[in-house]
Amino acid sequence: MRGKVWAAVTQAFKMPMALIRRMITNLISRVLMSTLPSPKMSAQTITDCNRRKMVVGLGNPGMNGSRHSVGMAVLTTLAERLGAPDSWRSDRQVSGEVIVTQLQDIQLVLLRPKLLMNINGVSVAKAASKYLISPEHIFLIHDELDKPLGKFGIKHGGSARGHNGVRSCVDCLHTDVMPRLRVGIGRPSGKTSVDRYVLGRFSQEEQNVLDSVMKQSVDVLLTYITDSQPQTSPAEGRRASRKNKSRTPSPPQDTTDEQKQS
């Protein structure tokens, strides 16, 4: 028995650290997802849920101003635009802060997860369960290394492309159909590691550019949300079976909705 334990420990040390972190993250997510909030069902609730959408600002709680939490910054700008900057309330059932407001005939739920970026998906899945929102009506806002600062774009589903917060959402919702607003932060220069770079804060010059980007991106996002024609559907992404968790691939759609701060 002791030999088997030692063999398991030895094997674990041979595994890449990224894989070990992923396994630990998945384990934590499963534990946190063990109890999803049960929505109160009624005829009115079923009718309302067809006009309900959610916008999520991905990021790390308590790290306002960091590049990795730019999604939360854009969401804050959206709340201000909707006239509800002080309406945030903490909701333990969804492990996050929530605003429920109205946008034309749409009931809009804004969500700021209070979990670390790598398990943001737990909060998103809990909120989707509580408010009866289907994944194709969940809009993720997040930072994007492959876009320079000053640019942003909408992506209609597809893979996480290395973003841990998006990957967590894909894993917890068992699909990748969620549309995303990708806000460019650029890549680090020199020998600065990606981890250190994304957790760092914007310089004053960068913040000035970002302020303009956030206003423009909110304009695009509001137009997208209120568009009467759905931009994506489960068929355009990958939906996993809850039974076997297998996914069928489909090409991600990165639209020409890309904008550049002028």
- How far is it, in rounded angstroms, from Cα 9 to Cα 230? 50
Which listed residue (68, 137, 142, 163) is catalytic?
68
Please give the structure tokens belonging to residue 81: 């635009």
Q: Tell me if residue 68 is catalytic.
A: yes
Q: What angle (nearest 5°) sits at the alpha carbon of residue 233, between those of residues 228 and 235? A: 150
Give the single-character DSSP code of 105: T
- How far is it, in rounded angstroms, from Cα 3 to Cα 195? 37
Please give the structure tokens belonging to residue 59: 């990021």
- How far is it, in rounded angstroms, from Cα 148 to Cα 189? 12
Of 169, 162, 141, nearest to 237 by C-alpha is 169
Evaluated on CA atoms 151, 197, 97, 168, the torsion sign reads positive
Of 243, 44, 212, nearest to 132 by C-alpha is 44
Q: Are 70 and 50 in contact (CB under 8 A)?
A: no
| Residues tagged active-site | 68
